[in-house]
Structure 1
């Protein structure tokens, strides 16, 4: 008889886990209050980031910290209440960003990133979603030659250690790819490996539809309670109750608070972010995804228009939106590329689910048999969802995993 599994959370991570388990013969129900891909996975930059072998560390040098304090930077904003609320995990994040600890974290994190393309590929094919995906990489643009040179050194290290491929573009080569870019931009790194997605939420929805076509079930409803009853799990929702063998928690930024009800206290925090879509000025066209590395925002040619995504905002998950960070990013973006009027009535707001050692939790819950965890992917849930799905499905079936999963175990905190 097929093992019955409920996956809680229908973002990229949850959908990918459900797809993998259904492929392997499980009887899977995917539960979320919204349709697949409509929360955190909806609002990202739409890059499957094979080059992102280094997680984002907390700034440690005094110059950067002092530049953040006035709260005017585009790449990072904070609210005092949010900082106080997350003081303990943020302090741990700062500690883990020391050179000694960060050097250990990077290869562990990179082991996940290196699986991203090979695990997305079969899902894209199964979902007939190739029309959403481009395999041309993306551009990280610079004004300052010295900063570009420093970044090239980091790129060379990523190439030598983790096989990351890139090309360095001078002004002439950059203009060949992006004729409408500002003359202030003097060069770029063209990251060659990553794939870009013109509708991130649409890709998650396509994966979810492939899961349904395989026999999986999606239940759109509120989760009201989860209890272990003997060897089985009882899930109460607003529409029905479920009895299953195993439960997977893939609730992204909501996972930490939700798991407290089962006696787990993970040091979760969020980095919020915003996006807005724009038209372009007449005759202008954006060809590539562009990250303005010295300022900290990204422009992407999405199906809905040119999407501007902001950097991080440190605040509580459910605090009201503050669109000033987006407005400041937009002002700079207009000087880099000729974007036109806004296409959305209001900015989209979401939250990246983070843990202080910059690595997700992937694996069994320490206190409960049949409870599995997959959350805390930070900036890379969209990139890492299929890799997480493959690895967790292997663990659930007692099979060897492609990489060492010890760095991602739940009991490390």
Structure 2
């Protein structure tokens, strides 16, 4: 009989795991309280980031740390209660961002990122979702020559070590690509490898539809409990009780709290974020995804309008929304590109699931046979979902993995 697997969580990571296992002949049920791609995967910037070989470190220099304290920056905001709640993992995050430890983390993290395009490609084809994907890269824009120059040096190192492709745009070349951009922007890095997606939630939904066409099952209901019975697992939901040989936990920002019930205490925390869609002031048109690197927000020409996505907000997962960060980003964005009226009644809020060493957990749970973990992808769950799905499917089947999975083991904490 085919191996029965239940995947908990229908974001990009969970859907990708389900697709890979179903494709290999497993009987898979994908469970989430919402439709696929409607939580964290819905609200991101929509970039499959092949260039993102370096995870985001915690600021270590005193100048940057002091600039964050007034809590009025666009790229990073915090609430004291949230900082206190996540004090221990944040301290570990700061420690892991030291030059010595970060230097070791980067190649481990990059090994995952380097798989992103070739693992998305077959899923895009299977889902017939090519109409959602552009393969033209994205632009990282700058106002300050010295900061652009420093970033070019980093890009050159990423090219030499990890094959990242880019070009440097001066003001004239940039205006050819984005005629309506502000004169304050003096140049950009054009990251050439990444693919951009005009509807991130729609891509996840298309992957989920491809999964069901393979014979997979999606159960939209609340997950109420998870327990092991002999060599099998029982998943209790509001709709029915499921039994399986394997359970994969891909619950994103909720994974840490769910795992406590099974005796695991992962140092998870979240970086929350917001988005809003805008019209443009005619006849202006945004052609590329633009990241305002010196300020810390991103504009993307999506199907629903120009999406503005914010940087990170450090707070508890379920704390009420605070749109001040979005408002600050919007004010700057309007000076860079002629945005029109807001198209959404309120801002979307989501949370990026993070671990203090900047790497996800991918692999078996240390204490339970048949329990598999895939969470903590930070800013890159959308990018890394298909790679995670392929790697975890290989591990479940006892096959060799394309990269060394030791850095992503659950028992490293």
Q: TM-score, normalised by structure 2?
A: 1.00
Matched residue pairs, number? 413
The structural deviation recorded for 1:338 is: 0.3
The structural deviation recorded for 1:330 is: 0.1
Alpha-carbon separation, structure 2, partners of 1:315 and 1:35: 25
Alpha-carbon separation, structure 2, partners of 1:86 and 1:292: 28
Note the alpha carbon deviations across 1:284-313, whole angstroms, 9 max, x for none.
Answer: 000000000000000000000000000000
Unaligned segments of structure 2, at least 5 residues: none
Unaligned segments of structure 1, at least 5 residues: none
Note the alpha carbon deviations across 1:64-95, whole angstroms, 9 max, x for none.
Answer: 00000000000000000000000000000000
- In the other structure, the counterpart of 1:197 is 197
Note the alpha carbon deviations across 1:197-234, whole angstroms, 9 max, x for none.
Answer: 00000000000000000000000000000110001001
The structural deviation recorded for 1:191 is: 0.1
Note the alpha carbon deviations across 1:124-168, whole angstroms, 9 max, x for none.
Answer: 000000000000000000000000000000000000000000000
- Aligned-partner SS, 1:299: strand
Alpha-carbon separation, structure 2, partners of 1:216 and 1:209: 9
Q: Which 4+ residue blocks in structure 1 deviate beyond 2 angstroms?
A: none
The structural deviation recorded for 1:283 is: 0.3
The structural deviation recorded for 1:374 is: 0.1
The structural deviation recorded for 1:45 is: 0.1
The structural deviation recorded for 1:99 is: 0.2
- In the other structure, the counterpart of 1:355 is 355
Correspondence list, 1:337-352, <5 A: 337-352=337-352
Note the alpha carbon deviations across 1:243-281, whole angstroms, 9 max, x for none.
Answer: 110100000000000100000000000000000000000
- Aligned-partner SS, 2:308: strand
Alpha-carbon separation, structure 2, partners of 1:233 and 1:277: 42
Note the alpha carbon deviations across 1:27-71, whole angstroms, 9 max, x for none.
Answer: 000000000000000000000000000000000000000000000
- Aligned-partner SS, 1:262: coil
The structural deviation recorded for 1:385 is: 0.1
* RMSD of Structure 2 on Structure 1 (CA): 0.2
Alpha-carbon separation, structure 1, partners of 2:89 and 2:231: 34
Alpha-carbon separation, structure 2, partners of 1:265 and 1:94: 19
The structural deviation recorded for 1:358 is: 0.1
- Aligned-partner SS, 1:307: strand
Alpha-carbon separation, structure 2, partners of 1:378 and 1:280: 30
Q: TM-score, normalised by structure 1?
A: 1.00
Find out whether 1:302 has 2:280 as its counterpart: no
The structural deviation recorded for 1:384 is: 0.1
- Aligned-partner SS, 2:261: helix
Alpha-carbon separation, structure 2, partners of 1:398 and 1:253: 28
Note the alpha carbon deviations across 1:344-380, whole angstroms, 9 max, x for none.
Answer: 0000000000000000000000000000000000000
Alpha-carbon separation, structure 2, partners of 1:227 and 1:85: 28
The structural deviation recorded for 1:333 is: 0.1
Note the alpha carbon deviations across 1:162-215, whole angstroms, 9 max, x for none.
Answer: 000000000000000000000000000000000000000000000000000000
- In the other structure, the counterpart of 1:335 is 335
